[in-house]
């Protein structure tokens, strides 16, 4: 894993992590990955013992309308064991609702809309440590209104992940992603 840039002085803050390899995307040489018309995007070699927790910034072009899901990866392979759990809280205009799911082969990361800007800030907790991996996403879409989606998900196993895959429930996605390590 290569540190591409330290965003804060003194070694504190977030550090952009350069993937060791990318599937269905192009690294700009510093760690930000662009993708177009992808049925999935995989980032390998982004999680290691260097950082305990990570932040992923994800932008999905409004050409897609599907929930976006994630799976942890180890040595270039997705883990699709049915041990993903999640809770969703969403707000659209004055409507608020929630959904809970368990024992799935992937977990929701964010929802998208074809007439909206779609962005998510994703915190990934302990993916490399042999503990449960916890993920929290807050995403925003603009659709002449603001749509807020808040996802709390978990991989309920002690697998050590060194990468992540994200993919739409249907169709393809275009956008950009960056992963940062939280300096300890």
Per-residue DSSP letter, 160: P
> Where residue 86 sits, what CATH number does that domain have?
2.60.120
Mention every residue, 6+ apart, whose C-beta is less than 8 A from residue 25.
Answer: 33, 34, 35, 38, 41, 43, 177
Residue 27 contacts residue 20 (beta carbons within 8 Å): no
In the predicted structure, residue 9 carries a pLDDT above the cut 70: no
The residue-averaged pLDDT of 11-35 equals: 94
The residue-averaged pLDDT of 94-111 equals: 90
In the chain, the percentage of residues whose pLDDT exceeds 90 is 66
In the predicted structure, residue 10 carries a pLDDT above the cut 90: no
CA–CA dist 173, 167 (Å, integer): 8
CA–CA dist 30, 23 (Å, integer): 16
Q: How confident is the model at residue 52 (pLDDT cuts 50, 70, 90)?
A: very high
Residue 143: per-residue pLDDT: 60
Q: How confident is the model at residue 156 (pLDDT cuts 50, 70, 90)?
A: very high
Q: How confident is the model at residue 82 (pLDDT cuts 50, 70, 90)?
A: very high
Residue 117: per-residue pLDDT: 66
Residue 135: per-residue pLDDT: 97
Which pTM was predicted?
0.89
Q: How many independent structural domains does the chain possess? A: 1
Q: How confident is the model at residue 113 (pLDDT cuts 50, 70, 90)?
A: low
Residue 77: per-residue pLDDT: 97
Structural domain harbouring 92: 2-182
In the predicted structure, residue 24 carries a pLDDT above the cut 60: yes
Mention every residue, 6+ apart, whose C-beta is less than 8 A from residue 79.
Answer: 71, 72, 73, 155, 157, 159, 161
């Amino acid at each position: 894993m290569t540190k591409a840039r330290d965003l804060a002085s003194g070694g504190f803050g977030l550090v952009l992590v350069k993937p060791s390899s990318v599937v269905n995307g192009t690294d700009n040489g510093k760690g930000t990955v662009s993708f177009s018309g992808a049925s999935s995007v995989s980032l390998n070699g982004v999680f290691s013992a260097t950082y305990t927790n990570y932040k992923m910034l994800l932008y999905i072009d409004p050409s897609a309308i599907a929930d976006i899901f994630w799976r942890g990866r180890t040595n270039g392979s997705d883990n699709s064991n049915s041990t993903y759990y999640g809770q969703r809280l969403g707000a659209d205009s004055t409507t608020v609702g929630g959904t809970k799911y368990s024992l799935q082969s992937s977990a929701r990361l964010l929802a998208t809309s074809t007439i909206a800007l779609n962005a998510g800030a994703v915190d990934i907790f302990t993916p490399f440590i042999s503990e449960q991996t916890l993920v929290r996403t807050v995403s925003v879409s603009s659709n002449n209104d603001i749509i807020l989606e808040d996802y709390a998900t978990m991989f309920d196993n002690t697998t050590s992940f060194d990468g992540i895959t994200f993919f739409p429930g249907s169709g393809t996605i275009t956008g950009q992603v960056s992963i940062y390590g939280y300096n300890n």
